[in-house]
Amino acid sequence: MEYRKLGRTDLEVSVIGLGTMTWGEQNSEAEAHEQLDYALAQGVNLVDTAEMYPVPPKPETQGLTETYIGTWLAKTGRRSEIILTSKVIGPMRDAKRPGHIRDGKTYLDRKNLTAALDASLKRLQTDYIDLYQLHWPDRTTATFGKLAYPWVKDDYTVPIEETLSVLQDFVRAGKVRHIGVSNETPWGVAQYLKLSETKGLPRIASIQNAYSLLNRVFEIGLSEFTHWEDVSLLAYSPLAMGVLTGKYLDGARPEGARLTRFTRFTRYEGPEAESAARQYVQLAREHGLSPAQMALAWVNSRPFVASNLIGATTMEQLKENIASAQVQLSPEVLEGIERIHRSQPNPCP
């Protein structure tokens, strides 16, 4: 397993990170513990979760993912062996975002951030989180598949400086080691960095955004920050919710699969997505590669990626995904990927 520096911190994270958002919905507590045991045995040290998980978010399951991690930590005593990350949700500004947590008034202010962190620490059965992330911005942005900035003037947003001041108190108290953002934009990253520099506030170490063969938008504006400002990418949805495995081609809906069970996930659907996915799957097979491992190995190879957050509902999937860390793509495969990308760029932003 390869390890990469996270931002300007002293943390070295595994190039494959363990995503957990299915635990408590598609995976049981025993299965979650089995995944943790196997992942650590393969050298994975980054475990990523969120107060909102599992997904799809529901009142009756909210927090179960963190709870399962907490029971594993209590059982094994292996807290020092993992880099544990979690996320606090932002305000509900559209119907797809959860309104059941803290009565839907989840602004990134002191009251909500404090309540969220304390609840996460209790569920996780730990007294600190290595990387605490803002799950999405407090303001309305062009994220979660939006194609353009919406030009919406929100009635109220918490100033970024106020949010950072609260996070600074968490760091000083020893409850959080480092901070990061998620589903953020270039403007947002610039503001966080500016306030850190001018106000002496904590510096974001990372950004967790969607990144895959079907969504390379990160490369356009955000990757430059990783180069010059050392803000590492934690890439989520590297398989585009399984679309890049090829299992959904031609309308197939395998029993138990996420897009079979849940209709709310539409970000990676549509004729353009299917056409591009078909070409990537065909390219992989022409070169004797697993489509999933080719897609993951490509994400692993990007210089701005600190950790590639894979997720799995079966041990077979988990083993295949983690093994992508050992796959090196040939120049011919990389050229083929770029050829497809040029013909169908970013069908699923």
| Catalytic positions, written as ranges | 53
Rg (CA), the chain: 19
Selection from 40, 118, 48 nearest residue 78 by Cα: 40
**217 in helix, strand or coil?**
coil
Count of positions (residues) in the chain:
349
Q: Which residues of 265-276 are buried (b: 16+ CB within 10 A; e: fewer)?
A: bebbeeeebbeb
Selection from 188, 287, 292 nearest residue 238 by Cα: 292
Asked if 342 contacts 50 with a C-beta cutoff of 8 angstroms, the reply is no
Asked if 82 contacts 49 with a C-beta cutoff of 8 angstroms, the reply is no
Angle between helices 110-124 and 160-172 (to 10 degrees): 40
